[in-house]
A and B are shown apart, each in its own frame.
Chain A
Amino acid sequence: MFDWLQHFADWLIYNVFNVGAETHLGIALNFFIYDTLKILILLFVIVFIMGIVNAYFPIEKLKDYLNKKKLYGLEYFFSSIFGAITPFCSCSSVPLFIGFVQGGIPLGVTFSFLITSPLVNEVAVAMFLGMFGVEATLIYAASGILLGTIGGWVLGKFNLEPLLSDWVKKILENKIEQAKFEEKKKTFYDRLPEITQAAWDIVKGVIVYVIIGIAIGAAMHGFVPENFFNQYLGGGEWWTVPLAVIVAVPMYANAAGIVPVIQVFVAKGVPLGTAIAFMMGTVGLSIPEATLLKKVMSLKLIAIFFSVVTLCIILSGYLFNMLL
């Protein structure tokens, strides 16, 4: 599918820039150009598709659906899936959270959504597809959804409502009607330029991270000795998965920047399961997210939320390493 891109990279580096195909520099540059272009194309396509989904996704109807239907536990699963397909903007997480809880959706189900939403997002999926291929991407997405389902269900077992911020509790007591909403219907054709623009804006926003990530990855490919991580992280000792996750959680790395680095880890001998767990720790939980959530919940609730999710990520890391 990307053969033409490889030809282009070969032509550009070996013929136009005249860097030898046998030199280290030539190989590194070729790799860099090919990977960067491939990732940017994938990113744009996937972000664009998600933009279309987002434009027509009836989030209010979803809320009513989750609230009214008796789903016998499946509501956690649905909520998690919805979290995966709605594009995540960190600034919307708090209004979404309150909107869900206020709509009468149990806190645990809301958490399912909140866990999966940053974990399985369009940027992460595009990067995974570009660096690891289809199979690994499906595993990543499926496990993210599963993790949200289980994490939300576990959190739902605790009595967490008293740990919400006071003003949120007040909102929950007196239901407020939504302010009047009027929107003119627009055709798909009308909205297309807007969706394209939004997709382009997202890609523009992460280009720098993609380039830095791939550059670090390319440099590591060249300088980190083969089997380096094998000695420290890849040996399969029981503590490697928790260590990778605990290091990852406070880190706030853009999925666009972290995936190319992880790819090198895997190429140098880190098991894929450990790498996926690390990735989930960085994008799924972070200090900035905790600061946002601080507005709607107490520190204790944030701590419980983070611990449960961290534990789930560690367990899924073990599971992958056993299965893969």
Chain B
Amino acid sequence: MSKVIKILGTGCPKCKSMTGVVSEVVSENNIEASIEKVEDIVEIMKFNVMTTPALVIDDVITIKGRVPSKAEVLALLN
């Protein structure tokens, strides 16, 4: 089943690097997933996170406030 990935962040450098890491992992491993960047603060606050960037996979927050490594993202997606 295709996964729904959301990246929460208002567009700071860390959020951009998280987007980079996640999209590389998805394309390199042919993972079936949609990536959505959530930049609107009102939308972000619906997840009630206090530190950005945050990674949301199928409505579960998996990482907050830091940029993960590729291996970590791959493990989360499998």
The answer to whether the Cβ of B56 comes within 8 Å of any Cβ in the partner chain is yes
Per-residue 0/1 for A92-103: is the Cβ within 8 Å of any B Cβ (1 yes, 0 no)? 101110111010
- CB–CB B56/A179 < 8 A: yes
The answer to whether the Cβ of A173 comes within 8 Å of any Cβ in the partner chain is no
The answer to whether the Cβ of A205 comes within 8 Å of any Cβ in the partner chain is yes
The answer to whether the Cβ of A25 comes within 8 Å of any Cβ in the partner chain is no
Question: What residues on B are CB-neighbors of A225 within 8 Å?
Answer: none
Count chain B CB atoms within 10 A of each CB in A176, A177, A183 and give the residue with the most: A183
A 292-311 contacts with B by CB, 8 A:
295-296
Question: What residues on A are CB-neighbors of B60 within 8 Å?
Answer: 179-182
Assembly CA distance A95 to B52 (angstroms): 8
CB distance from B2 to the nearest CB of A (A): 19
B 59-78 contacts with A by CB, 8 A:
59-69, 75
Count chain A CB atoms within 10 A of each CB in B15, B60, B65, B67 and give the residue with the most: B65
Chain B interface size range: 20 to 34
The answer to whether the Cβ of A16 comes within 8 Å of any Cβ in the partner chain is no
CB distance from A88 to the nearest CB of B (A): 11
The segment from A33-41, A55-63, A75-83 found at the interface with B is A55-63
- CB–CB A91/B12 < 8 A: yes
Per-residue 0/1 for B28-53: is the Cβ within 8 Å of any A Cβ (1 yes, 0 no)? 00000000000001101111111110
Question: What residues on B are CB-neighbors of A182 within 8 Å?
Answer: 60-62
- CB–CB B52/A167 < 8 A: no
CB distance from B43 to the nearest CB of A (A): 11
Number of A-B residue pairs having CB atoms within 8 Å of each other in the complex: 84
Chain A interface size range: 20 to 34
The chain A residue with its CB closest to the CB of B65 is: A92
Assembly CA distance A182 to B9 (angstroms): 18
Assembly CA distance A63 to B63 (angstroms): 19
The answer to whether the Cβ of A194 comes within 8 Å of any Cβ in the partner chain is yes
Assembly CA distance A284 to B36 (angstroms): 33
Assembly CA distance A227 to B41 (angstroms): 49
- CB–CB B51/A98 < 8 A: no
CB distance from B77 to the nearest CB of A (A): 13
CB distance from A184 to the nearest CB of B (A): 8
Per-residue 0/1 for A38-59: is the Cβ within 8 Å of any B Cβ (1 yes, 0 no)? 0000000000000000110001
Question: What residues on A are CB-neighbors of B63 within 8 Å?
Answer: 183
Question: What residues on B are CB-neighbors of A100 within 8 Å?
Answer: 50
CB distance from A102 to the nearest CB of B (A): 7
Among the listed A171, A177, A198, which residue makes an inter-chain contact with B66, where contact means beta carbons less than 8 Å apart?
Answer: A198
- CB–CB A96/B50 < 8 A: yes
- CB–CB A194/B61 < 8 A: no
- CB–CB A92/B50 < 8 A: yes
- CB–CB B46/A176 < 8 A: yes
The chain A residue with its CB closest to the CB of B45 is: A98
The answer to whether the Cβ of A23 comes within 8 Å of any Cβ in the partner chain is no
Among the listed A59, A89, A180, A193, which residue makes an inter-chain contact with B69, where contact means beta carbons less than 8 Å apart?
Answer: A193
- CB–CB A177/B48 < 8 A: yes
Among the listed A95, A177, A180, which residue makes an inter-chain contact with B51, where contact means beta carbons less than 8 Å apart?
Answer: A95
- CB–CB A94/B62 < 8 A: no
* 10 A-B residue pairs with CB within 8 Å: A91-B52, A95-B49, A95-B51, A99-B49, A100-B50, A179-B59, A180-B59, A180-B60, A181-B62, A183-B63
A residues with CB within 8 A of B: 54-55, 59-60, 63, 89-92, 94-96, 98-100, 102, 167, 171, 176-184, 193-194, 198, 201, 205, 295-296
B residues with CB within 8 A of A: 9-15, 17, 41-42, 44-52, 56, 59-69, 75
CB-based closest 6 A-B pairs: A91-B12, A99-B50, A178-B48, A181-B61, A179-B47, A180-B60
